[in-house]
Amino acid sequence: MSSDPGSHPADDAAKPWETQRRGLLLLVSSPSGAGKTSLSRRLVADHADLILSISATTRAPRPGEEEGREYYFKTEEEFERMVQAGELLEWAEVHRARYGTPKAPVMAALDAGKDVLFDIDWQGAQSVAKHAPADSVRVFVLPPSWSDLSRRLHARAQDSEEIINFRLDRGREEIGHWAEYDYVIVNKNFDRAYADLGHIYRAERMKPGRNPWLPEFVTGLAEERT
């Protein structure tokens, strides 16, 4: 029973916007070290309806990474089998390793009204958006300066100098694709960048096409009499 003495039993029923909606695919990209992973994981932690897409990859685990949490770590042979079987929504070679998105869990989440966040490179974002254009929202994260990006990569202490230089060189190519995205965030201040990403996500959830309950709801409002 409701604690509000003036409420009606029907007020306690689930509202249509609580049960009927189409999920979205939030594709977040950036040069390595610009902050997309930290921003993405905080957004997922703060929103119950948002889940993180877990990619398969052929690269070796970094210190602290776990199978099925950061990635599904695959051998080259295992990854190729997934490609040939059509089990990946997209895949690409990045930084001398292959990355791909298992298709089945993503499509099941969309149909269930869940949102899926992708921490993904520009090639993968392009492929996913081509496969599901109406469901995709693309956000590109830029560093405030190139020296700041270099500092962040060195501060992580996860890669050799050769790999860091490779990532920086690749980053110059990656930022050339910023105009292909729906939104661009400059991560000068993490809290501000996070707030911007959160605003984008919540606004996209409100679009009519992602809320199939709206036509019937509006018709009911128009016919309602006091």
Residues 19-65 pLDDT 10s: 578 899 999 999 887 889 899 999 999 999 999 999 899 999 988 89
In a domain, 155, yes or no: yes
Residue 101 resides in a domain: no
Task: Determine how β-strand 183-186 pairs with β-strand 71-73.
Answer: unpaired
Q: How confident is the model at residue 173 (pLDDT cuts 50, 70, 90)?
A: confident
Give residue 3's pLDDT.
46
67: in domain: no
* pLDDT above 60: residue 1: no
Q: Is residue 108 part of a domain?
A: no
Q: Which of 147, 190, 210, 173 is nearest to 41 (CA)?
A: 190
Query: For 6-10, 182-186, 201-205, 214-218, which range has the lowest pLDDT when averaged over its residues?
Result: 6-10
pLDDT given at position 87: 93
Number of domains in the chain: 1
Note the pLDDT of residue 203.
97
Using one digit for the tens of pLDDT, what is the confidence trace for 112-161? 889 999 999 898 899 899 988 999 999 999 998 888 878 878 777 677 77
Whether the full predicted model's pTM is greater than 0.95, yes or no, is: no
Percent over 90 (pLDDT), the chain: 48
Q: Alpha helices, DSSP H only, in 47-189? A: 76-84, 103-111, 122-131, 146-156, 161-174
Is 66 domain-assigned? no
Q: Which one, of 100, 107, 88, lies nearest residue 124 by Cα?
A: 100
Asked if 106 contacts 55 with a C-beta cutoff of 8 angstroms, the reply is no
Domain span including residue 157:
19-53+115-223
- Is 89 inside a domain boundary? no
Q: Per the domain annotation, does 76 fall within a domain?
A: no
Residue 196's contacts (CB-CB under 8 Å, 6 or more residues apart) are 185
Is a pLDDT exceeding 80 seen at residue 6? no
Give the domain CATH number at 30.
3.40.50.300
Residue 138 lies in a domain: yes
HSE (CB half, 13 Å, CA atoms) of 111? 6
Using DSSP's 3-state secondary structure scheme, residue 97 falls into strand
- Mean pLDDT over the full length of the chain: 87
Strand pairing report for 71-73 and 55-57: parallel
